[in-house]
């Protein structure tokens, strides 16, 4: 072991990174991970691992820079074409012959930005045809890098990345937008991306093929063995393991046979009866509990700032920027390099209002200050209105430690307020003009006054109406009383129906007249994995979940037109845990006026 690896604090730093961000590098080759961490430390002039951990605790952006240094995302479409030719000509036909009617399950582990699983999808679609491919093949792409997975899920790549893709395949499976290409929806829909750590998480099971190319080489021998154990568990008998050219599997011939050594293709031997995936033992150190608690608190603080509904910037007592959330990044164009910069060097320190003297005032007076509707002129010529709240921060000893700046975009409200003020002024002028007219126009004046009162509040409108219809006052009071009683009954009925809706095991989805989601009950959440707040007011036919909602448009339109119950229809679907099911869907009108529909979704069986 080198002196660099023996440097105090490396194990504690790796455990802190694992507990704070969920990236477990303890099983990586120590020489490699130590060298890459040292490179990052040299870039920011940090002397040792202990000091670098302090940097990570205070600078959330440094985690991203470190992960980009450690995680080498090297991939491309049809990387090593001769290997993919072997997969196309030999492996895939053998899999289809072995399972002529069954579903084919493929896992691309360490998929980076997604080129590899999309390559697999193209090959299967070419051999099976797009319709049969959509019905029979499911491809999983996993990685530990969330940034890489976001790119993979988008399915959008520059033209240079598609250079290895033959022109006919590029035209068939990608849509061009200038210099960008996007995977078509049919192909994208059969690839499921998710975060997965092959050293810690349970493997995907019942696989016909597992692709993990040039990933194992970054781990030490012990971790490689444990990962191979998991891969062996994940594959069916006869399933293929496709490794990278830098990796071999020569010492495990009792469990894997060589299919093509040159192409690094191996096949799982039949006969192993293991039922559970092996688990990697956790690393225990005397300070692990303390590190976990520190990491948990720091993560909680970071999440609280990020989850804030408004842009937040924290300025340290020495006048430097110590933290900001994503909303602040988007609103003011901040970058990771702006952390630890003097606040006065940033444009937002004096735009839309000079905040520097106000920060000093808030700290000196030890109270909150607020700026209302400050105008911010954007480069495109438009104007934003922003409320700024300055909150001085003090520790337990009442010593000032900094200032929290909260920016609230009130552009819409301010514009509405200005418009309302102008409307009021216009109405006042109209009212004064009407007062100068003769008695013959008095009825018109009263009508305009009534209209003006309607704009103010419903109560004033009712008072004016009651004055004009004084002779019918008793009748109106009786009617109002009946309405109040009926409203109470309606509220009770709504509460009762809400309770019934939430208790229904089946999925119930209520759509409004625009076919947007109005209600999404607990049964729908359990069936599809989407929460009510995620789909509320979203167009139903634009939702992407385990049910092919486009197949429901006919019965929904029929229900809206006939205002009678339609269905049920039975559709193949995939529930929230990825299992194929048959779903029965019935559609009923919400009312007699075509204002919406109610969809009842019931799982008939799993396949």
Tens digit of each residue's pLDDT (9 = 90 or more) over 60-88: 677 767 766 666 556 889 888 899 999 99
What are the tokens at 492?
């009770």
pLDDT, residue 600, reads: 92
Mean pLDDT score of the chain: 81
Cα–Cα distance measured from residue 436 to residue 483, given in angstroms and rounded to the nearest whole number: 41
Residue 3: pLDDT above 60? no
Residue 46: pLDDT above 80? yes
Q: Tens of pLDDT along 154-168?
A: 889 998 888 899 999
> Half-sphere exposure (CA, 13 Å, Cβ side) for 34?
17
3-state secondary structure of 239: strand
CB-based contact 572:545 (threshold 8 Å)? no
pLDDT, residue 127, reads: 93
pLDDT, residue 142, reads: 92
Residue 22: pLDDT above 60? no
Residue 280 banded pLDDT, cuts 50, 70, 90: very low
Q: Which of 69-78, 387-396, 562-571 has the lowest mean pLDDT?
A: 69-78
Distances (CA, A) of 306 to 299, 312, 326, 339: 10, 8, 6, 15
pLDDT, residue 25, reads: 67
Residue 279: pLDDT above 60? no
Give kind and range of the element (H or E) at residue 108. strand 104-109
Residue 20: pLDDT above 70? no
Give the dihedral sign, CA 290/294/297/300. Answer: negative
Distances (CA, A) of 341 to 167, 316, 318, 365, 391: 48, 10, 11, 25, 20
Other C-beta atoms lying within 10 Å of the C-beta of residue 67: 19
Residue 240: pLDDT above 90? yes
- Residue 485: alpha-carbon gap to chain centroid: 45
Q: Tens of pLDDT along 293-316?
A: 545 555 566 666 766 788 888 888
CB-based contact 427:452 (threshold 8 Å)? yes
Residue 283: pLDDT above 50? no
More reliable by pLDDT, 534 or 145: 534
Task: Tell me the average pLDDT across 50-59.
Answer: 80
Q: Which of 11-20, 458-467, 542-551 has the lowest mean pLDDT?
A: 458-467
Residue 4: pLDDT above 50? no
Residue 122: cis peptide before it, omega within 30 degrees of 0: no
What residues form DSSP beta bridges with 588?
Answer: 598
Domains, the chain, ordered by start: 3-70 (no CATH), 81-268 (3.40.50.150), 308-409 (3.30.450.20), 414-468 (no CATH), 504-606 (3.30.450.20)
Residue 293: cis peptide before it, omega within 30 degrees of 0: no
What residues form DSSP beta bridges with 140?
Answer: 107, 192
pLDDT, residue 36, reads: 78
> Half-sphere exposure (CA, 13 Å, Cβ side) for 482?
6
Task: Tell me the average pLDDT across 265-276.
Answer: 71
pLDDT, residue 6, reads: 47
249 exposed, middle or buried (CB, 10 Å; 0-12, 13-18, 19+)?
buried
pLDDT, residue 281, reads: 45
Residue 601: pLDDT above 80? yes
Q: Which of 67, 149, 71, 158 is nearest to 111 (CA)?
A: 149
CB-based contact 84:119 (threshold 8 Å)? yes
pLDDT, residue 7, reads: 57
Residue 515: pLDDT above 70? yes
pLDDT, residue 485, reads: 86
pLDDT, residue 447, reads: 73
Q: Pseudo-torsion of CA 217, 223, 224, 229, nearest 10°?
A: -160
Task: Tell me the average pLDDT across 551-578.
Answer: 89
pLDDT, residue 44, reads: 84
Cα–Cα distance measured from residue 426 to residue 424, given in angstroms and rounded to the nearest whole number: 5
Contacts of 125 (CB under 8 A, 6+ apart): 133, 173, 187
pLDDT, residue 296, reads: 58
Q: Tens of pLDDT along 312-336?
A: 888 888 888 888 887 888 888 887 6
> Half-sphere exposure (CA, 13 Å, Cβ side) for 470?
2
Backbone torsions φ then ψ of 21, nearest 5 degrees: -130, -5
Task: Tell me the average pLDDT across 567-573.
Answer: 90
pLDDT, residue 11, reads: 77
Residue 448: pLDDT above 70? yes
Residue 230: pLDDT above 80? yes
CB-based contact 255:232 (threshold 8 Å)? yes
């Amino acid at each position: 072991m080198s002196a660099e690896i023996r440097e105090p604090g490396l194990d504690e730093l790796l455990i802190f990174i694992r507990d704070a961000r969920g990236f477990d590098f303890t099983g990586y080759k120590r020489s490699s991970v130590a060298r890459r961490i040292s490179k990052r430390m040299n870039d920011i002039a940090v002397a040792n691992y202990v000091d670098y951990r302090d940097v990570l605790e205070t600078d959330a952006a440094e985690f991203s820079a470190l992960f980009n240094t450690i995680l080498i995302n090297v991939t491309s479409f049809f990387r090593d074409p001769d290997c993919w030719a072997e997969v196309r000509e030999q492996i895939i036909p053998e899999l289809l012959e072995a399972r002529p009617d069954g579903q084919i399950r493929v896992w691309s582990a360490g998929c980076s930005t997604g080129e590899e699983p999309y390559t697999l999808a193209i090959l299967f679609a070419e051999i099976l045809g797009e319709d049969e491919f959509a019905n029979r093949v499911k491809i999983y792409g996993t990685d530990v890098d969330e940034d890489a997975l976001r790119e993979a899920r988008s399915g959008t790549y520059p033209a240079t990345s598609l250079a290895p893709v033959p022109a006919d395949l590029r035209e068939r499976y990608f849509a061009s937008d200038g210099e960008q290409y996007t995977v078509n929806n049919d192909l994208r829909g059969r690839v499921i991306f998710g975060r997965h750590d092959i050293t810690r998480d349970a493997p995907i099971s019942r696989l016909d093929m597992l692709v993990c190319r040039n990933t194992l080489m970054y781990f030490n021998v012990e971790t490689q063995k444990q990962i191979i154990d998991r891969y062996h568990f994940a594959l069916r008998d006869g399933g293929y393991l496709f490794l990278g050219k830098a990796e071999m599997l020569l010492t495990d011939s009792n469990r894997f046979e060589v299919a093509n050594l040159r192409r690094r293709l191996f096949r799982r031997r039949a006969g192993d009866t293991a039922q559970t995936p092996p688990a990697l033992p956790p690393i225990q150190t005397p300070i692990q509990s303390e590190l976990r608690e520190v990491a948990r608190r720091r993560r909680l603080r970071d999440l609280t700032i990020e989850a804030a509904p408004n842009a937040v910037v924290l300025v340290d007592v020495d006048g430097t920027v110590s933290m900001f959330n994503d909303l602040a990044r988007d609103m003011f164009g901040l970058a990771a390099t702006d952390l630890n910069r003097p606040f006065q060097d940033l444009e937002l320190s004096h735009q839309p209002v000079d905040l520097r003297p106000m920060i000093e005032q808030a700290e000196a007076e030890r109270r909150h200050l607020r700026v209302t509707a400050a105008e911010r002129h954007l480069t495109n010529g438009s104007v934003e209105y922003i409320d700024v709240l300055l909150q001085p921060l003090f520790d337990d000893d009442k010593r000032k430690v900094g200032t929290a700046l909260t920016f609230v975009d009130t552009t819409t409200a301010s514009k509405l307020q200005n418009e309302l003020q102008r409307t009021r002024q216009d109405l006042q002028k109209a009212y004064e003009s009407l007062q100068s007219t003769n008695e013959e126009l008095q009825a018109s004046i009263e009508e305009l006054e009534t209209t003006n009162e309607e704009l103010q509040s419903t109560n004033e409108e009712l008072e004016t109406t009651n004055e004009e219809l004084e002779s019918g006052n008793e009748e109106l009071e009786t009617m109002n009383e009946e309405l109040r009683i009926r409203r109470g009954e309606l509220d009770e009925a709504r509460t009762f129906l809400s309770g019934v809706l939430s208790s229904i095991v089946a999925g119930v989805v209520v759509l409004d007249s625009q076919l947007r989601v109005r209600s999404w009950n607990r049964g729908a959440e359990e069936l599809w994995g989407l929460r009510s707040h995620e789909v509320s007011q979203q167009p139903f036919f634009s939702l992407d979940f385990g049910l092919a909602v486009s197949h429901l448009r006919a019965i929904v339109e029929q229900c809206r037109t006939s205002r009678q119950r339609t269905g049920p229809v039975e559709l193949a679907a995939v529930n929230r845990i990825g299992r194929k099911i048959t779903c029965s869907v019935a559609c009923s009108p919400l009312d007699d006026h075509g204002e919406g529909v109610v969809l009842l979704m019931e799982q008939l069986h799993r396949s």
